[in-house]
Amino acid sequence: MQKNQKFNTNVIMLIMNECVYEARIFREAGSLIKHGYKVRIIALKKKSLPSFEIINNIPVIRIYLFTECFQKKFLLHYLRWLEFIWKVVLRFREAEIYHCNDIKTLPIGVIIKRFFNPKAKIVYDAREYEIERNYVKGIRRFLRKAIEKACIKYADEVITVSGSIAEEYKRLYKIRNVKVILNTPPLQHPSRHKDLLRKELNIQRNQLIFLYQGVLQVHRGIEMLIETFSSLPSKCTLVLMGFGDLEDFIKKASRQKNNIFFKPAVSPDQLLEYTSSADYALLLTSPDCLNHYYSLPNKLFEYIMAEVPIIASNLYEVRSIIEKYKIGIVMKEYSQKGLKEAIEKILSIDKNELQKNFAEVKQKYNWENEEKKLLKVYEELI
């Protein structure tokens, strides 16, 4: 592809949330801009956020919805979705490529391509196994599958986050070519000597830090973590760092137990400095649906990049990496008993033995490698 073609290519990246903590989207947008594409992220406007801002050289445009109040109302929240579709189609239908980051935004690309801009290309970035999420049941599951089945055939490229999910999409929709682009951070070697968590949370040198980072919500093992660490000696401290619905629950636990700490989310450019100051990392997503079972979450690769040994629940894709490279322990059962056994086991292993394996795995799982795959997808579109 000629270089000047990239500079004339407008890309609209669509996401139906506020786009604040969206590491994958910002990495993808940043890579495309760096290689000559014109990229804008279109997201939702909430009262506390600006309608337009530039984040790391990436323009983010947020759209206000009059139907925002319907977000949590059964069926009425579809009016909110329809308003978003209508406003995006009206304002942003002249781009060359539409990068749809979930099932809610895929119909936008299809409507524009079918009725307004037939030369437009669609990239469907299936960041989740949408119809196999644990809360997607009944009529909701039926509607999502119907929408995805009707729309995915118009996508020029389909990408997703793990090999298992890619195979499921091929099987479900009889499509041959689904690319895998992992949620990996850039290759980094964070400094461990800063010890940020100990300094900021006043954790003693002789105490071990077990870190959970990410979204603080149900099905991530947070309740089990708090119950388990509440019964462990103060030598084992639990730090929960992030944002989400369970923040108040965690803060209450941290006031009651002196070995449980809450740390608000930090910016992506600071994250690994904090992660690397932990002794062990926790990835306890519940294996209660195929979306979770086949997932490869951001935090797995962030823990790897920070070189922190990992305790993880028995998720198919996660287990394969941890066991292949010997960088942690996979729980035998998803319970307090299983977690305590995993903690005892990882404490009995020479930490230096675990850490020396990170050099190899970091060279494979980094954004520099995944960026090449993304750029190839876009080059094939033009």
Is 11:96 a contact under the CB 8 Å cutoff? yes
Percent of the chain with pLDDT over 70: 97
The pTM score is 0.92
**Higher pLDDT, residue 57 or 78:** 57
Lowest mean pLDDT among 7-16, 61-70, 157-166, 280-289: 61-70
pLDDT for 32 equals 97
Is 309:355 a contact under the CB 8 Å cutoff? yes
pLDDT in tens, 148-166: 999 999 999 999 999 999 9
Burial 113-150 (b: 16+ CB within 10 A, else e): beeebeebbbbbbbbbbbbbbeebeeeeeeebbebbee
pLDDT in tens, 234-289: 999 999 999 999 999 999 999 999 999 999 999 888 899 999 999 999 999 999 99
Collapse the DSSP code of 124 into the 3-class scheme (helix H, G, I; strand E, B; otherwise coil) and give the result: strand
Lowest mean pLDDT among 2-6, 47-51, 344-348, 358-362: 2-6
pLDDT for 78 equals 80
DSSP string, 126-138: E-S-GGGSTT--H
Is 263:239 a contact under the CB 8 Å cutoff? yes
What's the CATH superfamily of 3-183+367-381? Glycogen Phosphorylase B; (3.40.50.2000)
pLDDT in tens, 25-34: 999 999 999 9
Rounded to 5 degrees, φ, ψ at 199 are -65, -45
Where does the pLDDT of residue 192 fall: very low under 50, low under 70, confident under 90, or very high at 90 and above? confident
pLDDT in tens, 81-123: 999 999 999 999 999 999 999 999 999 999 999 999 999 999 9
- Where do the domains of the chain lie? 3-183+367-381, 196-364
| CATH 3.20.20.140 corresponds to the domain 196-364 | no
The DSSP bridge pattern shows strands 236-243 and 260-264 to be parallel
Where does the pLDDT of residue 1 fall: very low under 50, low under 70, confident under 90, or very high at 90 and above? very low
Lowest mean pLDDT among 178-192, 301-315, 360-374: 178-192
> Is a pLDDT exceeding 90 seen at residue 303?
yes
Mean pLDDT across the stretch 40-65?
94
Residue 17: how many other CB atoms lie within 10 Å: 15
| Distance of alpha carbon 185 from alpha carbon 114, whole angstroms | 35
The DSSP bridge pattern shows strands 157-160 and 178-180 to be parallel
pLDDT for 128 equals 93
**Higher pLDDT, residue 293 or 7:** 293
pLDDT for 72 equals 64
- The token pair that represents 63 in the structure block: 């759209």
**Higher pLDDT, residue 4 or 217:** 217
3-183+367-381 and 196-364 have identical folds = yes
Neighbouring residues of 137: CB distance < 8 A, sequence distance ≥ 6 = none
Mean pLDDT across the stretch 340-368?
92
> Is a pLDDT exceeding 90 seen at residue 352?
no
Average pLDDT of the chain to the nearest whole number:
93
| Distance of alpha carbon 317 from alpha carbon 133, whole angstroms | 16
| Distance of alpha carbon 298 from alpha carbon 249, whole angstroms | 24
